[in-house]
């Protein structure tokens, strides 16, 4: 039986080191055939109606789940022709006008946006000239931690850039756009850092212009959030954090697409990739449905073989942020105390970030010789385009001359293959996702596959993949503690 599943686009799931004798077997899959079919029917029902068995919002009210609608741009959808046009108009308004965008968000509002930035822009975007960036602004992230040092240094960097522009362009104002992403507007990390930078930039005395864009709950009237009210009061443009789309799925909504618009990324291609993957996953045939197969194999690896950790290991520096995004997706979706019947199950795999080849020198010792409790999910790029060739710089030094003539991309794949073979030889489980190339379309395919996989696995495990009750526990403790801190500072006059 083939252990390679390839979609029409060339996206490939290779699972020979996860399926077969000594791994997840065909007999194990056959034993839960009815459960797999039920899971597929449940997700088809969710696609058609938004309904998920037993799913409630954090307020205890029934809530639809709508992320599977997002790849489809259509009138009446969360992503409509009008909403996409508005995003693109917003992006065009920044090009050749705004110097820098600062994106404030946490959770999916940061992690998903960082993925889009890393893949489209790379590490050195902010060091390029405006011409080299095609007139698109620099982009910095904040609001994902309460770190006072980094927040202060970001402020200092923006002020430094404003002074430099004023010096070199005869007092021309430095323009900063602050994009604040929060459904409620009261998330402390996002709100606090935004207020610090907003106030400091406005009061800087520099030739500096500040504009704000809010991405928040679209509800008006009695349901209006604080961020919506601030935006309405101050006349800030607004985009939506839609109902029915949890933060970890919101990369396909305006939450993520607003960053794509800021950097000139191809929004339609990204959503087309997600749509292509969704269409590939409509079949009930397990061995032709990449998301259902991925979910089934990981579920059985955990339940029957004790593989309760998942190392997500792309062989690409700029895909590390995909691993970090996946951490939230897997942890919040599947890390659940109870199943739908109220039974204590303590379900879920612990996700681990790794990057090849970097972490072959840091983590592979544990992967290879530690407890057999992991699935290593590799991710590789098939075609890097033009690859750098290692030159023969020191021909008299045999220890380094042996590397000369090697294409870096090919050597990277040899390293990954060697890692996979070593793990497999010792009964360690792994699988590979292969992107034909690294672009917006194939990125959309990958991220959507992962999102749909956790939806399927939630059905297999009978846990709600769309709530996050555990997150509320620390919030209930933190709120009163912050109030007490403020009272104590007020009483001491600090």
Mean pLDDT, residues 201-206:
95
Which of 283, 255, 239, 248 is CA-nearest to residue 47?
283
Please check the confidence at residue 494 and state whether its pLDDT lies above 70.
no
Q: Please give the pLDDT value at position 410.
A: 96
Contact 136, 97 (CB under 8 A): no
Q: Please give the pLDDT value at position 476.
A: 82
Length of the chain: 494
Q: Please give the pLDDT value at position 465.
A: 96
CB atoms within 10 A of CB 198: 17
DSSP string spanning 381-428? ES--SS--B---S-TT-HHHHTTTT-BHHHHHHHHHHHHHHHHHHTT-
Contact 54, 464 (CB under 8 A): yes
- Is residue 484 very low, low, confident or very high in pLDDT (cuts 50, 70, 90)? confident
Portion of the chain with pLDDT greater than 90, in percent? 89
SS3 280: helix
Mean pLDDT, residues 228-244:
96
pTM for this prediction: 0.95
Q: Which of the two residues, 220 and 394, has the higher pLDDT score? A: 394
Contact 461, 347 (CB under 8 A): yes
Please check the confidence at residue 425 and state whether its pLDDT lies above 80.
yes
- Is residue 435 very low, low, confident or very high in pLDDT (cuts 50, 70, 90)? very high
Tell me whether the CATH fold assigned to 4-60+270-468 matches the one assigned to 67-264.
yes
How are strands ordered across the β-sheet holding 309-314? Answer: 4-6, 12-14, 429-435, 374-381, 309-314, 350-353
Q: Please give the pLDDT value at position 219.
A: 84
CA distance 210 to 261: 19
Task: Assign 3-class secondary structure to 166-196.
Answer: HHHCCCCCEEEEEEEECCCCCCHHHHHHHHH
Mean pLDDT, residues 366-380:
98
Q: Which of 21, 131, 234, 361 is catalytic?
A: 361
Q: Please give the pLDDT value at position 61.
A: 85
Q: Please give the pLDDT value at position 271.
A: 98
**In the numeric block, which tokens belong to residue 15?**
């699972």
**In the numeric block, which tokens belong to residue 462?**
């009978």
Q: Please give the pLDDT value at position 378.
A: 98
- Is residue 407 very low, low, confident or very high in pLDDT (cuts 50, 70, 90)? very high
CA distances (Å), origin 120, targets 151, 189, 217, 384: 24, 26, 27, 14
Rounded to whole angstroms, the maximal C-alpha distance in the chain is 77
DSSP string spanning 284-317? S-GGG-HHHHHHHHHHHHHHHH---EEEEEESSG
**pLDDT per residue over 108-130, tens digit each?**
999 999 999 999 999 999 999 99
Please check the confidence at residue 412 and state whether its pLDDT lies above 80.
yes
CB atoms within 10 A of CB 450: 22
SS3 229: helix
Please check the confidence at residue 51 and state whether its pLDDT lies above 80.
yes
Q: Which of 45, 202, 475, 481 is catalytic?
A: 475
Angle between helices 440-461 and 320-334 (to 10 degrees): 20
- Is residue 388 very low, low, confident or very high in pLDDT (cuts 50, 70, 90)? very high
- CATH number of 67-264: 3.40.50.10490, 2.30.42.10, 3.40.800.10, 3.90.1210.10? 3.40.50.10490
Q: Which of the two residues, 368 and 479, has the higher pLDDT score? A: 368
From first CA to last CA, the distance across the chain in angstroms is 70
Q: Please give the pLDDT value at position 488.
A: 84
Contact 252, 271 (CB under 8 A): yes
**In the numeric block, which tokens belong to residue 99?**
């110097």
Mean pLDDT, residues 42-49:
97
Q: Please give the pLDDT value at position 200.
A: 98
- Is residue 357 very low, low, confident or very high in pLDDT (cuts 50, 70, 90)? very high
Is residue 298 part of the annotated active site? The answer reads no
Q: Please give the pLDDT value at position 493.
A: 67
**In the numeric block, which tokens belong to residue 90?**
């917003």
CA distance 199 to 202: 5
DSSP string spanning 319-354? GHHHHHHHHHHHHHHH-EEE-TTS-EEEE-PEEEE-
Portion of the chain with pLDDT greater than 70, in percent? 99
The secondary element (H helix, E strand) that includes residue 445 is: helix 440-461
Q: Which of 14, 63, 324, 332 is catalytic?
A: 332
Is residue 361 part of the annotated active site? The answer reads yes
Q: Please give the pLDDT value at position 220.
A: 81
Homologous superfamily in CATH for domain 4-60+270-468: Glucose-6-phosphate isomerase like protein; domain 1 (3.40.50.10490)
Which of 323, 324, 313 is CA-nearest to residue 415?
313
**pLDDT per residue over 291-344, tens digit each?**
999 999 999 999 999 999 999 999 999 999 999 999 999 999 999 999 999 999
CA 61 to chain centroid, in Å, comes to: 27
For all residues of the chain together, what is the average pLDDT? 95
Backbone angles phi, psi at 281, to 5 degrees: -100, 15
List the domain boundaries for the chain. 4-60+270-468, 67-264
């Amino acid at each position: 039986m083939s252990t390679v599943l390839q979609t029409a686009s060339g996206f490939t799931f290779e699972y020979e080191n996860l399926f077969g004798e000594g791994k997840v077997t065909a007999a194990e899959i056959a034993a839960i055939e009815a459960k797999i079919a039920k899971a597929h029917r449940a997700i088809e029902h969710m696609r058609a109606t938004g309904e998920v068995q037993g799913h409630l919002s954090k307020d205890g009210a029934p809530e639809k789940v709508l992320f599977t609608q997002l790849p489809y741009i259509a009138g009446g959808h969360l992503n409509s022709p009008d909403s996409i046009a508005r995003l693109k108009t917003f992006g065009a308004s920044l090009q050749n006008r705004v110097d820098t965008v600062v994106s404030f968000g946490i959770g999916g509002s940061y992690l998903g946006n960082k993925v889009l930035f890393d893949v489209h822009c790379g590490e050195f975007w902010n060091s390029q000239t405006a011409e080299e960036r095609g007139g698109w602004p620099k982009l910095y992230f904040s609001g994902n931690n309460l770190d006072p040092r980094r927040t202060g240094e970001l402020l200092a960097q923006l002020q430094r850039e404003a002074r430099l522009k004023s010096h070199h362009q005869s007092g021309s104002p430095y323009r900063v756009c602050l994009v604040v992403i929060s459904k409620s507007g009261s998330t402390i990390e996002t709100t606090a850092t935004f207020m610090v930078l907003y106030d400091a930039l406005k009061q800087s005395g520099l030739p500096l212009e500040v504009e704000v864009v809010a991405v928040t709950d679209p509800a008006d009237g009695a349901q209006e959030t604080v961020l919506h009210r601030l935006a309405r009061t101050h006349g800030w443009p607004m985009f939506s954090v839609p109902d029915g789309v949890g933060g970890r799925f919101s990369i396909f909504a305006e939450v993520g697409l607003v960053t794509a618009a800021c950097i000139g990324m191809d929004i339609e291609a990204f959503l087309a990739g997600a749509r292509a993957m969704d269409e590939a996953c409509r079949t009930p045939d397990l061995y032709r449905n990449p998301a259902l197969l991925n979910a089934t194999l990981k579920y059985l690896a955990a339940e029957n073989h004790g593989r309760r950790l998942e190392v997500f290991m792309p062989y690409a520096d700029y895909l590390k942020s995909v691993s970090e995004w996946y951490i939230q997706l897997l942890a919040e979706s599947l890390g659940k105390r109870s199943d739908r019947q109220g039974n204590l199950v303590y379900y879920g795999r612990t996700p681990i970030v790794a990057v090849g080849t970097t972490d072959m020198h840091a983590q592979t010792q544990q992967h290879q010789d530690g407890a057999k409790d992991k699935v290593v999910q590799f991710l590789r790029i098939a075609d890097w385009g033009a690859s750098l060739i290692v030159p023969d710089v020191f021909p008299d030094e045999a220890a380094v001359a042996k590397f000369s003539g090697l294409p870096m991309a090919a050597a990277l794949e040899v390293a990954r293959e060697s890692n996979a073979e070593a793990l497999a030889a010792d009964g360690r489980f792994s699988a590979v996702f292969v992107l034909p190339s690294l672009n917006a379309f194939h990125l959309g395919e990958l991220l959507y596959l992962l999102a749909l996989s956790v939806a399927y696995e939630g059905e297999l495990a009978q846990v709600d993949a769309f709530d996050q009750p555990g997150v509320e526990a620390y919030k209930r403790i933190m709120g009163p503690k912050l109030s007490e801190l403020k009272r104590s500072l007020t009483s001491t006059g600090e």
